[in-house]
């Protein structure tokens, strides 16, 4: 692994959700990038949607830092991996600053990640309904855990010059500098639906305008030079950067054939799932060399219906020897030629059920591939796509199960163990995952289940049949890189 370096960095936190973290963090990323800085965007927790906005704002892949899914020991190495070659890193927190995995104390909270990164924290405070009380609020957050360095405040939704004056006067007694004041304005257009913000891939033009508005608001109201100076006060981290090739103990093969234009994702960024090499996800200036003839082709679902993926998964597949190619189930009628394995991550197939169902040639191709015993890894949205039907619309029919929308939100971390040997793991492999959906699959588990979920309640979940591993659980393969190696080996031999 490469030696550690000092990366200037900020963690953007808040007392609670809805305070304006995403607006401030995304606006800062865009504003710094507009000044010519290479900005590394990060998100605390498992959320896939905010990193899409971060990527569009910064021009680099948005990455997650999750101390529950990956373990505290991997947070700093994964951070350094994502921040390679960057001038500055901005880390958006999750929920309230001290809110983490339920029943696990500080684990996976913004405060926990800030401590692991030894990073200064800037607290975003919704000041719309207070004046002098803001000092007590900030003092409490700054003093609650002395290991967390709350180094500044950005005041959001400030009504007037007089309101700002009262807030600044009160905060002088708290001894925490004010790095910005954002006035109460019409909300930046970031539409939401049943699982949060609408992903960038579904509204790229509008998302560009939204991010520009965030950047302008932050540029007007924040001391950008002061924030850069604060970021530079963070020292070196006592660890090396994570690398997919290093953790797999193998030299990375080139993952994609070089012909044709450089591929683009729906949000307009270069598609690093097809160009990842050397265990790195940054945008590269030169195409990789020819892939090894023995590299099996792993097709990864993308496009607006399947936007949930951690960048490290494609990097691990490439480092394990796969040629990684993305395809769009809404547009492509066939799997990429030579597909030996299939990865279908999370997203919103319930929103696109009619369109996915209408693409009958691809549904048949997926079913035919699964029938051969080829490895197929499906998480959440991928599970729904493999079912017999989704809300009455025919899907791939790989699994003898039916999926439908429901009002209940299923959300939370899960502690699980593999109960069946599969293309991803041997029985007994322990993994941590995350569920986030408003759908239900009946039955919830096959004759051979994927996981035995231990937290929050014991149950069997998911399906293992032939080469298929399908489950609601989102997992982070950096926590168990052998998953990628096993999957690619199965692609070679199936």
Q: How many residues does the chain have?
A: 494
What is the rounded distance in angstroms from the CA atom of residue 12 to the CA atom of residue 302?
Answer: 29
End-to-end CA distance of the chain: give it in Å, rounded: 32
Return the closest-CA partner of residue 474 out of 112, 178, 187, 48: 48
Q: What's the CA gap between 90 and 224, in Å, rounded?
A: 12
What residue has token string 């405060």? Answer: 111
Burial zone of 323 (CB within 10 Å; 0-12 exposed, 13-18 middle, 19+ buried): buried
Q: Are 98 and 111 in contact (CB under 8 A)?
A: yes
CB 424 within 8 A of CB 435: no
- The burial class, CB within 10 Å (0-12 / 13-18 / 19+), for 442 is exposed
380 is catalytic: yes
CA–CA separation, 92 and 266 (whole Å):
23
Number of continuous H segments (helices) and E segments (strands) in the chain: 15, 22
Which runs of E-coded beta strand occur in 45-117?
A: 63-65, 88-92
For 383-413, b/e burial (b = at least 16 CB within 10 A) is: bbbbbebbbebebbbbbebbbbeeeeeeeeb
Element (H, E) at 416: strand 402-418
The catalytic position among 380, 387, 396, 491 is 380
Retrieve residue 7's tokens: 């990366």
Q: What's the alpha-carbon Rg for the chain, to the nearest Å?
A: 22
Give the whole-angstrom CA distance, residue 201 versus residue 326. 14
Distance CA 302, CA 357 (A): 16
DSSP 96: S
Which residues, including other chains, have CB under 8 Å from residue 235's CB and lie 6 or more apart? 6, 118
User: Which residues share a beta bridge with 441?
Assistant: 403
143 φ, ψ (degrees, to nearest 5): -105, -10
How many CA atoms lie less than 13 Å away from 268 in the CB half-sphere?
15
Give 346's DSSP letter: B
Residues with a catalytic annotation lie at 380
């Amino acid at each position: 692994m490469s030696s550690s370096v000092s990366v200037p960095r900020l963690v953007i936190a808040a007392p609670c959700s809805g305070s304006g973290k995403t607006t401030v963090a995304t606006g800062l990323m865009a504003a710094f990038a507009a000044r010519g800085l290479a900005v590394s965007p990060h998100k605390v927790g498992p959320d896939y949607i905010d990193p899409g906005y971060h990527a569009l704002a910064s021009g680099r892949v948005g990455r997650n830092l999750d101390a529950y899914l990956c373990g505290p020991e991997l947070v700093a190495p994964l951070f350094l991996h994502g921040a390679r070659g960057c001038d500055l890193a901005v880390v958006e927190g999750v929920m309230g600053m001290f809110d983490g995995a339920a029943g696990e104390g500080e684990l996976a909270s913004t405060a926990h990640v800030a401590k692991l990164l030894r990073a200064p924290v800037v607290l975003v405070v919704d000041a719309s309904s207070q004046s002098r009380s803001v000092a007590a609020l900030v003092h409490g957050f700054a003093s609650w855990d002395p290991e967390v360095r709350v180094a500044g405040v950005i005041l959001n939704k400030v009504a007037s010059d007089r309101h700002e004056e009262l807030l600044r006067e009160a905060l002088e007694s708290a001894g925490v500098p004010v790095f910005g004041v954002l006035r109460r304005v019409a909300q930046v257009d970031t539409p939401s639906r049943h699982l949060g913000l609408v992903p960038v891939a579904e509204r790229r033009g509008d998302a560009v305008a939204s991010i520009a508005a965030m950047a302008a608001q932050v540029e007007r109201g924040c001391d950008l030079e002061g924030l850069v100076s604060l970021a530079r006060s963070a020292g070196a981290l006592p660890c090396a950067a994570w690398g997919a090739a290093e953790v797999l103990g193998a030299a990375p093969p080139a993952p994609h054939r070089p012909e044709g234009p450089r591929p683009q994702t729906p949000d307009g960024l270069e598609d690093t799932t097809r160009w990842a090499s050397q265990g790195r996800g940054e945008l590269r200036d030169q195409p990789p060399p020819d892939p090894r003839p023995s590299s099996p082709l792993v097709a990864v679902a993308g496009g607006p219906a399947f936007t949930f993926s951690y960048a490290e998964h494609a990097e691990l597949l490439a480092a394990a020897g796969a040629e990684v190619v993305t395809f769009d189930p809404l547009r492509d009628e066939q799997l990429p030629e030579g597909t030996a394995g299939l990865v279908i991550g999370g997203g919103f197939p319930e929103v696109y059920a009619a369109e996915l169902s209408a693409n009958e040639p691809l549904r048949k191709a997926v079913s035919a591939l699964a029938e051969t015993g080829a490895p197929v890894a499906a998480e959440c949205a991928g599970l729904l796509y493999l079912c017999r039907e989704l809300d009455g619309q025919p899907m791939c029919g790989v699994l003898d199960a039916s999926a439908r929308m429901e009002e209940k939100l299923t959300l939370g971390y899960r502690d699980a163990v593999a109960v069946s040997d599969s293309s991803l793991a041997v029985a007994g492999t322990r993994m941590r995952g995350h569920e986030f959906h408003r759908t239900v699959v009946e039955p919830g588990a096959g004759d051979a289940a994927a996981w035995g979920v231990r937290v929050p309640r014991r149950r069997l979940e998911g399906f293992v049949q032939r080469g298929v591993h399908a489950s609601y659980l989102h997992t982070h393969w950096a926590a168990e890189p052998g998953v990628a190696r096993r999957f690619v080996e199965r692609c070679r031999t199936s």
